[in-house]
């Protein structure tokens, strides 16, 4: 147990981080939660992917030929293999000289070939989570900092509430403040392993990615153009377009894959990358927690497409630049942070833990406001600026996903103007003091409207895609259940507020 003075200092640090960085931490948790959820949203919106659930997955060669038959694919491309959560390949390449990089979802078995970033969490929330829509080095640095701040919050909170280890399973029910304080400390204690894992791994990964462009910017004397030149992997040669499907997917490519499988029977292919006449095959040894294509931790073989000979094989554990066990550990942080191991159950557990972490942030802020009001002798329900901002932030958590889900389901795209307009209106609704009197009435009605809208999402999907499967596709059932549970929770909150207002009115009348 720390001394009283030490506890006071730690509490000051804890409060400072909470008040200054609460929105940054909250958004890092929320957008990360939605990134986990993305793997369920795609099949829910795309009937073809829902139909693919449980079917045999085509081979990489079949997927490549499907892409090459529809697009002018060059001889430089990358393709990620399916995972237990994704029944499709992800192809990345340029369709023509000077064309932008395009990422496609590909599954020829159900004739699916769509933009990877057309789904809400890829087009918006993933970028918010990784770089806050800022230029990459600065945004990544801030999000890496958010991860470190989460670790500091957990550490200072653990030392401040030292008795929570002993009292982790006890519960006092005396007042609103004590109940909230106990719930905050208990759930915070139980979530320590998850919070440390997510905060530390996210902080390390974010700061590592940001360090390279920031270092290049310093070397270039602050010139963004010179920094981009230092970081660019593009050579002087123009991209060579493929003349036919056979040129893009020669027979030697299949032989390269067969020889890799023969040489490493205990590995699965994670990524393919073609550069001219050379094919890189990246494999993940089974039973090893590593991430293909993201640094160390995977097997990497280089095969010549001229004669299908495997010339070079590298295992990151063997050392070298970025290798060794340190590299393996670094690579293992990615699947741990992004829940890219196991199956649907792992992602659902991560989503549930993420929701609990958001509640920890929310309850912590409420505790600060209640205690400040008590110390200053002012009404507990008085709206300070930080409280207004946080309420507006929570309103966005309900409004924005609904808009994006409905927009993507109906149009297949995200209309940013609609989202920004609705978000701006919600923020102003809480910031403008002259709306304080009408806000409770509007909130009560808005909760019921949002509940009906969330409950209507499964029905909207049924109307738009009546032939799509509803049972047997885990992703579809998860999204439908989430929408219905959210609708039920919003209805319960609205009814609870109505009962509280009636009780207050009866007390005032008496």
DSSP string, 455-483: HHHHHHHHHH-TTS--SS-HHHHHHHHHH
Contact 180/370 with Cβ under 8 angstroms? Answer: yes
Domains and CATH numbers, the chain: 250-334 (3.10.450)
Query: Rounded to whole angstroms, how far apart are CA atoms 267 and 257?
Result: 12
Residue bearing tokens 């809208």:
453
Query: Rounded to whole angstroms, how far apart are CA atoms 65 and 274?
Result: 14
Pinpoint the alpha helices (H) of 161-300. Answer: 176-190, 192-219, 224-231, 245-248, 251-263
pLDDT at 235: 40
- Please, what is the Cα angle at 336 between 292 and 84, to 5 degrees? 60
Residue 130: phi and psi, rounded to 5, are -85, -35
DSSP code of 81? P
Non-local CB neighbours of 100 within 8 Å, separated by 6+ positions: 94
Query: Strands 76-80 and 267-275, how do they pair?
Result: antiparallel
pLDDT at 452: 96
Query: Rounded to whole angstroms, how far apart are CA atoms 111 and 121?
Result: 23
pLDDT at 143: 78
pLDDT at 237: 40
| Tally of CA atoms within 13 A in the half-sphere of 85 that contains its CB | 22
Non-local CB neighbours of 339 within 8 Å, separated by 6+ positions: 36, 346, 347, 350
Tell me which residues of the chain have a pLDDT lower than 70.
Answer: 1-20, 117-125, 136, 157-178, 209-244, 287-298, 315-331, 373-381, 508, 510
User: Which candidate, 310, 225, 26, 48, places its Cα nearest to that of 143?
Assistant: 26
Q: Is 185 helix (H, G, I), strand (E, B) or coil?
A: helix
Residue 369: phi and psi, rounded to 5, are -65, -45
In degrees to the nearest 10, what's the CA dihedral of 46, 48, 53, 58? Answer: -130
Query: Rounded to whole angstroms, how far apart are CA atoms 10 and 311?
Result: 57
pLDDT at 2: 53
Task: Tell the burial category of 438 from Cβ atoms under 10 Å away from its Cβ (0-12, 13-18, 19+).
Answer: exposed
Contact 57/87 with Cβ under 8 angstroms? Answer: yes
């Amino acid at each position: 147990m720390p001394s009283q003075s030490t506890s006071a200092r730690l509490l000051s640090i804890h409060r400072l981080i909470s008040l200054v960085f609460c929105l940054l931490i909250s958004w890092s948790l929320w957008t990360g939660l939605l990134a986990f959820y993305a793997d369920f949203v795609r099949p829910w919106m795309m009937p073809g992917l829902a139909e693919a659930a449980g079917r045999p997955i085509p081979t990489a060669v079949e997927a490549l030929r499907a892409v090459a038959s529809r697009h002018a694919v060059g001889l430089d491309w990358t393709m990620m293999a399916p995972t237990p959560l994704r029944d499709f390949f992800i192809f990345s390449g340029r369709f023509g000289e000077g064309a932008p990089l395009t990422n496609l979802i590909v599954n020829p078995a159900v004739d699916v070939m769509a933009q990877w970033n057309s789904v809400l969490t890829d087009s918006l929330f993933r970028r918010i989570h990784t770089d806050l829509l800022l230029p990459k080095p600065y945004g990544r640095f801030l999000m890496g900092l958010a991860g470190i701040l989460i670790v500091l919050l957990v550490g200072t909170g653990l030392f401040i509430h030292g008795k929570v280890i002993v009292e982790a399973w006890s519960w006092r029910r005396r007042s609103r403040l004590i109940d909230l304080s106990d719930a905050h400390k208990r759930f915070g204690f139980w979530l320590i392993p998850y919070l440390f894992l997510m905060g530390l791994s996210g902080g390390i990964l974010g700061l590592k990615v940001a360090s390279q462009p920031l270092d290049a910017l310093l070397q270039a004397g602050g010139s963004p153009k010179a920094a981009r030149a230092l970081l660019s992997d593009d050579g002087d040669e123009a991209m060579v377009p493929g003349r036919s499907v056979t040129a893009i997917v020669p027979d030697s490519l299949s032989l390269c894959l067969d020889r890799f499988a023969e040489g490493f029977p205990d590995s699965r292919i994670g990524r393919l990358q073609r550069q001219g006449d050379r094919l890189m095959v990246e494999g993940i040894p089974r039973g090893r927690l590593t991430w293909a294509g993201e640094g160390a931790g995977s097997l990497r073989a280089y095969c010549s497409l001229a004669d299908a000979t495997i010339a070079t094989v590298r295992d990151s554990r063997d050392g070298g630049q970025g290798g060794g066990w340190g590299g393996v550990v670094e690579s293992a942080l990615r699947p741990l942070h992004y829940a890219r191991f196991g199956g649907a159950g792992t992602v659902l557990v991560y989503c549930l833990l993420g929701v609990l972490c958001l509640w920890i942030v929310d309850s912590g802020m409420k505790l600060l406001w209640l205690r400040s009001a008590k110390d200053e002798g002012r009404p507990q329900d008085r709206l300070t600026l930080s409280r207004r901002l946080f309420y507006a932030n929570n309103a966005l958590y309900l409004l924005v996903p609904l808009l994006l889900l409905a927009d993507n389901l109906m149009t297949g795209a995200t209309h940013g103007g609609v989202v920004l307009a609705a978000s701006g209106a919600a923020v102003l609704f809480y910031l403008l003091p002259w709306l304080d009197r009408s806000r409770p009435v509007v909130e009560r009605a808005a909760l019921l409207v949002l509940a009906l809208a969330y409950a209507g999402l499964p029905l909207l999907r049924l109307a738009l895609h009546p032939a799509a499967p509803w049972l047997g596709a885990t992703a579809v059932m998860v999204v439908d259940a989430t929408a219905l549970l959210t609708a039920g929770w919003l209805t319960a909150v609205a009814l609870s507020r109505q009962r509280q207002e009636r009780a207050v009115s009866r007390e005032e009348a008496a």
